[in-house]
Structure 1
Amino acid sequence: MQTHSRRNIIRLGAAASLSSVFRLSAAEVSDKKLGIALLGLGNYATTRLAPAIKNARNARLAGIVTGSPNKIPVWQKEHGIPDANVYNYSNLDTIAANKDIDIVYIVTPTGLHAEYAIRALNAGKHVICEKPMAPTVEDCTRMIEAAQKNKRTLQIGYRLHWDPYHLRLIEAMKEKEFGAWTSIDTAHGGNMKDFTDYHAWRITKQLGIAGALYDLGVYAVQGQLYSAQELPIRVTARNWTDRKDIFTEVPEHWEWELEFKDGRRAKGFSSYGKKANHLHIETIKGRLGIDSAYGYSGQQGFTPDGPMNILPVPQQQLQIEGQVDTILSGKPSLVPGEMGRRDIRVIRGIMAAAESGKPHEFGDFN
């Protein structure tokens, strides 16, 4: 049996397709395909997740849950979904009796994640929940407890844990390949002009919670934590808004700095008004990082030894395959609910620091 450690995989670089290597090792888990129902049929579910599920070697698109009746015939025609596997938010609980559906993937606005994840878990289904996990730490805890009570897995849609550029960076930081890090700087933002149609919820407090900080900043928080390889002790932060006619409920820009126990700091930025997309780390031996770090494609990685020569992969497909393998194998998830809760704890700390104008102390993360 041929096996590949994560370390060997990320060092293969351009010598082989990382996509095929991941499929080779994962194919040893099971030939079974689990049925996934997408809950929420917005742009991301339509353009990214549905194709990823259809291409996955161990999953199939088995059902949909939607509050938009006009979308049902379109999805049924495109994906061959039978009437028996179509649900709305009112009758979601009856999905418990449907043996054709093993997993519910939550792809609604953030403010709705906890409710639907808990209902799906209570119906006996495994859950994958898009990032960020939920509005509050308490919501996250309720989701985790529902998964534990029902003996089902709860995973977060952190696709970059299957991206080879980020795997390369994570491995380098775990091994201190280039010595200790001295500073981290990361940002994820976009200069968004149109907040009508499917973007409207992002700038509401009820569904978008804190705007760009939740939607995009969670990537930057993730990048800071897996680069530092430790948890912060405090954070300072601020937010501001330039386009006050558009951003009436949530700030337009967020800036924060995590501090770690030895005094080292990691800067973060997220915005709906300024383009930014990088993860840069200064180490004893030089600079390590990724430009276009958090996109679906186009990453450019570099180390003190030179550029990362890595082939791109279908991120969402590998994510789906990896998360289904977790369920089939019973092994711990790379992206469990506890990780999602940790990140929300950091994000809520950023919000508290910005509101008070004083450093926020994190205390115990457990």
Structure 2
Amino acid sequence: MSSRRNFLQKISFSAAALPFMSLKDTAPAAVEKNYDGPVLRVAIMGLGSYGTRVAEAMQQCTKAKLVGVISGTLSKIAAWQARYNIPAKNCYNYENFDAVKDNPDIDAIYVITPNALHKEQVIRVAKAGKHAICEKPMAVNAADAQQMVDACKKANVKLLIGYRMHFEPKTLEVIRMRKAGEFGAIRFFQGLSGFVIGDPSQWRMNKALSGGGAMMDIGIYSINGARYMTGEDPVWVTAQETKTNPAKFKDGLDETIQFQMGFPSGAVASCLSTYNMNFLDKFYLNGEKGFAEMQPSTGYGPIEGKTHKGPLTQPHITHQTLQMDGMAALILENKQPVVPVDGEEGVKDMKIIDAIFEAIKTGNKVSLSWQK
């Protein structure tokens, strides 16, 4: 399974049908069918293809409910109102959504817009007194990401990042096995993340909006995956960039990056991020006593994998359904996930991306420090 962009490239629905495609065949009901507790009321900002995917998945949630929308396109707002029964008072555009501070019927806003817009929009959400959920990467660099964290702390609201894999059952089983020592000391991680990007005019190929190329889109999966699979944060990175089509991948838009990371334990990682190769969605974890292999490892699912003990057989539930219910539990009940999804987690990934770009620019090994 490829990334969400690759998936959307290949489906054959028309542009008109895409915003409301049915996901019922891949969205079984969440586990807690008889849940009778508080519900997180969410507005989605950015009504594109991934916003649609989240909205459809939320129809199966028990702890989170879609109640509002924020968009610059009036026709999308009208269509979402009709489909999801959203009242007019919960509909905003990008200019007036600060008024949500006076709307007690919205608890949180999920920002699903181009990367470069996240910082300003999340800070505005925080100033409006609403919890912020931000799609990854959370910003275009670590400095901007830290400003987002600081703004949410100042406003006393939560900032969560859209790490759906942190709630995925097979992924969590591998993490459980690693924590239980079933792999022994971790020695090596490999992460392969890539697909051939399509339309060159899309915002992801505009550095001003994306902040970069493949690394800011698909490469972050291997970065974050290396961290939750090994259970460590890297202390150094090295990286090399390959560009075969400079006309398409202009300055600041990376096509293919190979990068390596070293961890405090001595474990190492070798990863690939690319917009020029399909069928790359694989994690491999090697320990002194065993291994885990996942392919696909981060696609929409079902995730497939095995360890030295046999196949991973945990059930598939739509990732965004699990994510939104898990985030609702975190916000409403302070129930912490196995792997953090807070803003600080997102800042770490951005620091690693910054270091990778620095390593490419200088040709040097770049050290990372996690002291506050």
Instruction: Give the alignment's TM-score, normalised by structure 1.
Output: 0.89
Could you tell me how far apart the structure 2 residues matched to 1:223 and 1:71 are? 34
Q: Write the deviation string for residues 171-218 of structure 1: whole angstroms up to 9, x where unpaired.
A: 12222212112211111101223334xxx1112211111211011111
Whether contact under 8 Å (1:96, 1:124) holds in the other structure is yes
Partner of 1:91: 96
Paired AA for residue 274 in structure 1:
M
**Residues 29 and 61 of structure 2 are in contact (CA less than 8 Å); yes or no, is this contact kept in structure 1?**
no
Q: Distance in 1 between matches of 2:256 and 2:364?
A: 18
How much has 1:262 moved relative to structure 2?
4.3
- Unaligned runs of 5+ residues in structure 2 are 1-27
Pick the aligned partner of 1:49 from 47, 54, 59.
Answer: 54
Deviations 1:208-239 (A, max 9, x none): 11211011111111111112211211100011
The separation in 2 between residues aligned to 1:309 and 1:84, in whole angstroms, is 44
Q: Which amino acid counterpart does residue 258 of structure 1 have in structure 2?
A: M
Asked if the contact 1:169–1:289 (Cα under 8 Å) also holds between the matched residues in 2, the reply is no
List alignment gaps of at least 5 residues for structure 1.
1-18
The alignment covers a number of residue pairs equal to 342
**Equivalent residue for 1:306?**
310
- Give the C-alpha shift of residue 305 in structure 1: 1.1
Q: 2:146 aligns with which of 141, 147, 162?
A: 141
Corresponding residue number in structure 2 for 1:4? none
Tell me if structure 1 keeps the 8 A contact 2:68–2:90: yes
**Higher helix proportion (structure 1 or 2):** 1
Pick from 258, 261, 266: which aligns with 2:264? 261
Partner of 2:350: 344
1:166 partnered with 2:171: yes
Q: Is 1:213 matched up with 2:215?
A: yes
Where 2:284 maps in the other structure, the secondary structure is strand
Query: In 2, distance between residues paired with 1:98 and 1:214?
Result: 33
- Residue 32 of structure 2: SS of its match in structure 1? helix
Deviation string 1:36-72 (CA, Å, 9 cap, x unpaired) is: 11011111001x1111222211222111111122312
The match for 2:329 is: 325
Classify the secondary structure of the residue corresponding to 1:277: strand
Matched residue type, 2:32: R
2:226 equivalent to 1:224 = yes
- Give yes or no for the alignment of 1:37 onto 2:43: yes
TM-score under structure 2 length normalisation:
0.88
Structure 2: distance between partners of 1:254 and 1:260: 19
Q: CA, structure 1 residues 176+20, in 2 after alignment: closer, same or farther (shift >3 Å)?
A: farther
Q: Which amino acid aligns with 2:210?
A: G
| Secondary structure of the corresponding residue to residue 55 of structure 1 | coil
CA distance in 1, matches of 2:263, 2:349: 15
Deviations along 1:315-346, whole A, 9 cap, x unmatched? Answer: 10010001011111134463111100011111
SS of 1:274's partner is coil
User: Per-residue deviation at 1:21?
Assistant: 8.1
Q: Distance in 2 between matches of 1:170 and 1:20?
A: 24
In 2, Cα distance between equivalents of 1:72 and 1:318? 25
C-alpha displacement at 1:365, in angstroms? 4.7
Aligned equivalents of 1:64 and 1:195: distance in 2?
A: 28
Q: 1:291 aligns with which of 286, 290, 295?
A: 295
Give % identity.
34
SS of equivalent to 2:277: strand
Superposed counterparts of 1:119-158, under 5 Å: 119-158=124-163
Name which of 63, 76, 79 aligns with 1:74. Answer: 79
Q: Is the 8 A contact 2:218 2:274 kept in 1?
A: yes
Q: Which amino acid aligns with 1:252?
A: E
CA distance in 1, matches of 2:147, 2:362: 27
Farther off after superposition, 175-184 or 290-299: 175-184
User: Secondary structure of 1:191's partner?
Assistant: coil
Name the CA distance, whole Å, in 2 between partners of 1:121 and 1:37. 14
How far does residue 261 in structure 1 lie from its aligned partner after superposition?
A: 3.0
Distance in 1 between residues matched to 2:68 and 2:58, nearest whole Å: 12
Whether the 8 Å CA contact 2:70–2:77 is kept in 1: the answer is: no
Give the partner amino acid of 1:134: A
Q: 1:361 to 1:285 in 2, by over 3 A?
A: same
Following the alignment from structure 1 to structure 2, what is the Cα–Cα distance between the partners of residues 104 and 230? 30
Query: Secondary structure of the equivalent of 1:140?
Result: helix
Structure 1 position 239 matched with structure 2 position 241:
yes
Correspondence for 2:116: 111
Per the alignment, residue 3 of structure 1 pairs with none
Deviation larger for 109-118 or 259-268: 259-268
Partner of residue 23, structure 1: 32
CA distance in structure 1 between the partners assigned to 2:332 and 2:56 by the alignment: 21
TM-superposition CA deviations, 1:13-45 (whole Å, max 9, x none) = xxxxxx778537x94xx5222221101111100
